[in-house]
Amino acid sequence: MKIHAQITGTGSYLPQRIMTNHELAQQIDTTDNWIVERTGIRQRHLAAKNETTSDLAHAAALRAIEAAGIDAADIDLIVVATTTPDLVFPSTACLLQQKLGIENRCPAFDVQAVCSGFVYALATADNFIRAGQARCVLVVGAETMSRITDWSDRSNCILWGDGAGAVILQASDTAGVIATHLHADGRYRDLLHVEAGVSSGLEKSSAVRMQGSSVFKIAVKTLDEIVDETLAANHLQKSDITWLVPHQANIRIIEATAKKLGMSMDRVVVTVDRHANTSAASIPLALDTAVRDGRIRAGDLLLMEAFGGGFTWGSALVKWMV
């Protein structure tokens, strides 16, 4: 019999400290109105000085483990999507394994696809399960974007926030993860990037640089294409999708994708107002919110989609089973 993967539990975590648009407007030349109108963002959460990406991942993972009703020892693979790892190495996934006290020596690694990271990590975990190489995977998107934000650059600092989201993905006879579609195009590296890097020079700027309006236009067009591709490849109509669970970057990008799907905004999970763009953490944060408040129910068909630095983009089609 074919092996499939199902999400059996979700969890998320946002650091305690909230920075509102009003607070930001006291530091740079911007206004709450401008930020809300152009992005839909009202506030972001910021990790404490001593709080790292693996700490956020740990808190979200514990909640997902509890929701799935498993023991941490049952996990046989950990995949963490992050652009803001605690260290150059070990990977954040290895640090997380240690924090969870997992002694079964399961493999653990990070995936780097910036804002598309969660979809990439979910696709990776799904393929491990389908291949019979794992049966219970912890998939996490976790970021401390505040650490690579230039808080004096109003053109993009207004966008970023910290947070983490996690899911437990388990082997099953019936398909939960129906399909994933991933893409990348390295030609656009200069539109959205961080200059510093281990091999390029850690002394270079470690702040996100973005040509916002160009990224915006390409994001909308590319997400349109991934919606078409996902529906066609899986022989679905727009109306078959119950919930759009998009990457939370900008409400105007989310609205454009919803329009493409002919969906009213009450079928779209929106959390960008509360936590801003948390990169790889944003989809599992939104998913966990809508699962816990009862919006997402067994039998629903979810379309997750993301676009980010690289450029990378992708989608995951998930039948909700729990």
The residues that touch ligand UT7, with contacts defined as CB under 6 A, are 30, 34, 38-39, 115, 154-156, 158-159, 212-213, 215-216, 219, 249-250, 253, 277, 307-308
In sequence order, the 6+-apart residues with CB closer than 8 A to the CB of 256 are 220, 223, 224
Which of 21, 156, 250, 277 is labelled catalytic?
277
In the complex with ligand UT7, which residue's Cβ is closer, 76 or 162?
A: 162
In the complex with ligand UT7, which residue's Cβ is closer, 100 or 158?
A: 158
Contacts made by residues 186-194, CB under 8 angstroms, sequence distance 24+? 186/310, 186/311, 188/218, 188/310, 188/311, 189/309, 189/310, 191/215, 191/218, 191/311, 192/114, 192/308, 192/309, 192/311, 193/309, 194/148
Catalytic, 247? Answer: yes
Two tokens at 18? 């909230």
Which of 115, 136, 250, 275 is labelled catalytic?
115
CA atoms 18, 21, 23, 28: torsion sign:
positive
303 touches 112 (CB < 8 A): no
187 touches 32 (CB < 8 A): no
Query: HEC states along 45-62?
Result: EECCCCCCHHHHHHHHHH
Tell me how far, at minimum, the Cβ of 290 lies from ligand UT7, in Å. Answer: 20
Which of 45, 58, 247, 275 is labelled catalytic?
247
DSSP annotation of 268: B
Tell me how far, at minimum, the Cβ of 19 lies from ligand UT7, in Å. Answer: 14
Tell me how far, at minimum, the Cβ of 250 lies from ligand UT7, in Å. Answer: 4
Tell me how far, at minimum, the Cβ of 100 lies from ligand UT7, in Å. Answer: 28
Catalytic, 136? Answer: no
Q: Give strand pairing partners of 2.
A: none
Residue closest to ligand UT7, measured at CB: 212
In the complex with ligand UT7, which residue's Cβ is closer, 123 or 280?
A: 280
Tell me how far, at minimum, the Cβ of 116 lies from ligand UT7, in Å. Answer: 8
In the complex with ligand UT7, which residue's Cβ is closer, 154 or 292?
A: 154
Distance CA 123, CA 154 (A): 34
Tell me how far, at minimum, the Cβ of 202 lies from ligand UT7, in Å. Answer: 23
In the complex with ligand UT7, which residue's Cβ is closer, 21 or 52?
A: 21
Three-state DSSP at 289 gives helix
In the complex with ligand UT7, which residue's Cβ is closer, 46 or 306?
A: 306
In the complex with ligand UT7, which residue's Cβ is closer, 158 or 182?
A: 158
In sequence order, the 6+-apart residues with CB closer than 8 A to the CB of 16 are 45, 48
Tell me how far, at minimum, the Cβ of 186 lies from ligand UT7, in Å. Answer: 16
161 touches 15 (CB < 8 A): no
Catalytic, 58? Answer: no
In sequence order, the 6+-apart residues with CB closer than 8 A to the CB of 228 are none
Two tokens at 318? 């998930």
Catalytic residues: 115, 247, 277
